[in-house]
């Protein structure tokens, strides 16, 4: 994937985010919250396209790497570009997990797990729908993500 230009994506001020995001989106992305499993927007989405950070618009995941998981949240076997995802130690709730955040927006996305038997490669990015915006394949060009169409279709 082409290197993203950090100037293209910026994190708005907290006041703007509070006005633009729903209370759930703000809670998940800015306060490291978690939405309810199985009752979230993209858990069962199978349409072709990309998932971008709802805060900044930076591209994070492709539908090509999304798979059916019993976890109750959208699950991806890989990020579009691992450099766009930051992994941090999370010791909340008395467990050791790996939190994933977007690089430029510092948006809380969810967690990544290894050795997931449902994942095609053993890696499961378990991501909150509230932290994402889905852009369908047919709208990617119009929304400025045309360079990522091969990441969705597998064709150059």
- pLDDT at residue 93 in the model: 74
Residue appearing with tokens 């708005």: 12
Q: In sequence order, which ranges of 57-148 are alpha helices (DSSP H)?
A: 137-140
- pLDDT at residue 134 in the model: 98
Domain ranges of the chain: 13-151
Each residue's pLDDT tens digit, 56-99: 999 999 999 999 999 999 999 999 998 989 999 888 877 888 99
Q: Does domain 13-151 have CATH number 3.30.2130.10?
A: no
Q: How far apart are CA 35 and CA 38, in angstroms?
A: 9
From 55, 71, 104, 126, the catalytic residue: 126
Prediction pTM value:
0.91
The three-state secondary structure class of 16 is helix
* Residue 102 pLDDT greater than 80, yes or no: yes
Residue 126 among the catalytic residues: yes
Of the candidates 61, 71, 106, 70, the residue with the CA atom closest to the CA atom of residue 87: 106
Collect all residues with Cβ–Cβ distance below 8 Å to 66 and sequence separation of at least 6: 45, 46, 51, 74, 75, 76
pLDDT band at 3 (very low <50, low <70, confident <90, very high): very low
- pLDDT at residue 92 in the model: 80
- pLDDT at residue 156 in the model: 62
């Amino acid at each position: 994937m082409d290197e993203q230009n950090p100037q293209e994506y910026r994190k708005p001020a907290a006041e703007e985010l509070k006005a633009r995001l729903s209370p759930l989106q703000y809670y998940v992305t800015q306060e490291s919250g978690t939405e309810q499993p199985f009752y979230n927007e993209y858990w069962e989405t199978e349409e072709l396209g990309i998932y971008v950070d709802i805060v900044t618009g930076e591209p994070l995941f492709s539908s090509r790497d999304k798979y059916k998981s019993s976890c109750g949240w959208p699950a991806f076997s890989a990020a579009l570009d691992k450099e766009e995802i930051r992994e941090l130690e999370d010791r909340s709730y008395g467990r050791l997990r790996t939190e994933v955040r977007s690089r430029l927006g510092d948006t809380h996305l969810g967690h990544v797990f290894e050795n997931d038997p449902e994942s095609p490669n053993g890696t499961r990015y378990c991501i909150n729908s509230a932290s994402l915006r889905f852009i369908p394949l047919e709208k990617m060009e119009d929304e400025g993500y045309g360079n990522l169409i091969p990441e969705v279709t597998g064709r150059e």
